[in-house]
Amino acid sequence: MESSRSPLQGTYKPTTLQQLSYGPNSVKDNLLAALPKEDSRAFIVTGNSLATKTPLVKEVEELLGKERHAVTFSKIKQHAPVKELDEAVEVVLKAQGDHPIDTIISIGGGSPIDSAKAISFRVYEKTGHYLRHIAIPTTLSAAECTFGAGFTQPDGTKQAISQPGTLPTHVFYDPRFGAHTPPDLFISTGIRALDHAIELQYHPTATWMPCQLLALSAIKELFTFLPKYKQDPQNPDTITRLFLAAYASLGFLGSNIKGGLGLSHTLGYALGSPYGIPHGITSCLTLGHVVKLKARSSPATAAKIAEILPFIGTNTRSDDDVKDAEKVGDKILELVRQLGFKTTLTKKNVGRDQLDVIVERATGGLSKKEGISGEEREMVEGVRKLVEGLY
């Protein structure tokens, strides 16, 4: 038994994370000690904007020094296109020689971090050795918390890998790195972190301790500090609190969880890379509505969602779990509106002619199958109605 709420029983298997450092100067004070050897060589993976429009990447290069810094690859784009990953792997392999690269440092949001995982895995396939992955996040996507990674095929669809050897062994939450992130990006990825924390509450194999319990604290922190960040996006304490909330939203998932996180995430993958919508924005679109749909899916799910209410400022519960769970969905939609991220698929230039395609992707092809059960048909219709409401 690995699920843990009902009955209250479970098994939590930690990941291979070795160190979490946070707060001002955490990168400067601790990065070199995270390298596997004194003569390690590091390959930096980042995006063009971070490399050219901020001093952050250059600071890391200077901290490493010429002997430890091998190459910086700054071509990573949104949703991690596979073409760039192939190019990066070739750069790593060509740079091996007598003094091989043994470390990969990702600087940025979900795309550079996922790309670093995919690059490490592909290097492993070629050499039999993973690169030590050190992550320096600049957003709240929490990609550094899992050993899963997604990248985009030429047709726009997402492909995933799940390899424990690609998980960052060291994570640095330095507010200086968050302070250079555009506020809209930082906030929207905060809703993505909220998406993780919410969907874990009704995930069938997420453990109560520590996964769901700490995710509840993440929900409270995100509801509290995202509005404060919007008012003052340079406050280092607020940035650090939000980084740690993002970690709590997904960092205690464990290595033994089974299946995807939930419907909001599945919809996010169906809407994200195929239509060029960042995953923070897909969560703004879907999460509140998914919660309201899940509230009506079963009494057990409604009860789990209703338990979130005290963590988002509503201490009084009614005797109706469905009503309380729907209120959680309304609170999420209100937070998204308050933060200025209420939007529609129409505004994101996704035509209504894509409805069937989106539903098919979000239901794993179930919408196209014949002879499905009544429960499956009800689920498909619920997803269809939800997507229609996003226009």
pLDDT in tens, 49-85: 999 999 999 999 999 999 999 999 999 877 667 788 8
**Candidates 3.20.20.70, 3.60.9.10, 1.20.1090.10, 1.10.3720.10; CATH matching 184-388:** 1.20.1090.10
What percentage of the chain has pLDDT greater than the value 70?
A: 95
Sign of CA pseudo-dihedral 268, 273, 248, 244: negative
Instruction: State pLDDT tens for residues 253-298.
Output: 887 778 889 999 999 999 998 999 999 999 999 999 999 999 999 9
Instruction: State pLDDT tens for residues 24-36.
Output: 999 999 999 999 9
For the CA atoms of 158, 177, 334, 285, the dihedral, rounded to the nearest 10 degrees, stands at -10
| Residue 220 Ramachandran class (φ > 0 left, ψ -120 to 50 alpha, else beta) | alpha
User: What pLDDT, on the 0 to 100 scale, is given for residue 259?
Assistant: 82
Instruction: State pLDDT tens for residues 82-141.
Output: 788 889 999 999 887 778 999 999 999 999 999 999 999 999 999 999 999 999 999 999
Q: At what angle do helices 26-34 and 56-68 cross, to 10 degrees?
A: 30
Residue 3 has pLDDT above 80, yes or no: no
* Type of residue numbered 244: L
Helical residues (DSSP H) of the chain, grouped into ranges: 26-34, 48-53, 56-68, 82-94, 110-127, 175-179, 183-201, 213-231, 236-250, 263-275, 279-295, 299-306, 321-338, 355-362, 374-388
User: What pLDDT, on the 0 to 100 scale, is given for residue 50?
Assistant: 97
Residue 153 has pLDDT above 70, yes or no: no
Write the CB contacts of 53 (distance below 8 Å, at least 6 apart in sequence): none
Among the ranges given (22-26, 203-207, 353-357), the one the predictor scored with the smallest mean pLDDT = 203-207
Q: Is there a shared CATH topology between the 19-181 domain and the 184-388 domain?
A: no
Q: Residue 6: which pLDDT band, with cuts at 50, 70 and 90?
A: low
Q: What pairing do the DSSP bridges indicate for beta strands 132-137 and 103-108?
A: parallel
Is the Cβ–Cβ distance between 133 and 167 less than 8 Å?
yes
User: What pLDDT, on the 0 to 100 scale, is given for residue 157?
Assistant: 63
Write the CB contacts of 219 (distance below 8 Å, at least 6 apart in sequence): 194, 197, 198, 249, 308, 311, 312
Q: At what angle do helices 213-231 and 321-338 cross, to 10 degrees?
A: 30
Mean pLDDT, the chain, rounded, equals 93
User: What pLDDT, on the 0 to 100 scale, is given for residue 29?
Assistant: 98
Instruction: State pLDDT tens for residues 90-101.
Output: 999 988 777 899
Whether the pTM exceeds 0.85: the reply is yes
Q: Reading across the β-sheet that carries 42-47, which strands appear in turn?
A: 19-22, 170-173, 132-137, 103-108, 42-47, 69-76
What percentage of the chain has pLDDT greater than the value 90?
A: 81
**Candidates 3.80.10.10, 3.40.640.10, 3.40.50.1970, 3.40.50.2300; CATH matching 19-181:** 3.40.50.1970
User: What pLDDT, on the 0 to 100 scale, is given for residue 229?
Assistant: 98
The phi and psi torsions of 294 (rounded to 5 degrees) equal -65, -30
Three-state SS at 350: coil
Q: What is the CA radius of gyration of the chain?
A: 21
Residue 309 has pLDDT above 50, yes or no: yes
Beta bridge partners of 161: 149
The phi and psi torsions of 223 (rounded to 5 degrees) equal -65, -35
Write the CB contacts of 62 (distance below 8 Å, at least 6 apart in sequence): none
Residue 71's nearest CA partner among 103, 24, 39 is: 103
Separation CA 42–CA 348 (nearest Å): 38
Question: How many beta carbons lie within 10 A of that of residue 245, not counting itself?
Answer: 27
Structural domain spans, the chain: 19-181, 184-388
Q: What is the DSSP string of 94-137?
A: HT-TTS---EEEEEESHHHHHHHHHHHHHHHHHHS-PPEEEEEE
Mean pLDDT confidence for 372-390: 95
* Type of residue numbered 365: G
Burial of residue 100, with CB atoms counted within 10 A of its CB: 0-12 exposed, 13-18 middle, 19 or more buried: middle
User: What pLDDT, on the 0 to 100 scale, is given for residue 154?
Assistant: 67
User: What pLDDT, on the 0 to 100 scale, is given for residue 53?
Assistant: 97
62-85: buried (b, 16+ CB within 10 Å) or exposed (e) per residue? eebeeebbbbbbbbbebbbbeebb
Is the Cβ–Cβ distance between 291 and 305 less than 8 Å?
yes
Is the Cβ–Cβ distance between 60 and 54 less than 8 Å?
no
Tokens in use for 171?
A: 């994570």
User: What pLDDT, on the 0 to 100 scale, is given for residue 9?
Assistant: 81
Burial of residue 180, with CB atoms counted within 10 A of its CB: 0-12 exposed, 13-18 middle, 19 or more buried: middle
User: What pLDDT, on the 0 to 100 scale, is given for residue 187?
Assistant: 98
Residue 274's nearest CA partner among 369, 350, 359 is: 350
Q: Residue 1: which pLDDT band, with cuts at 50, 70 and 90?
A: very low
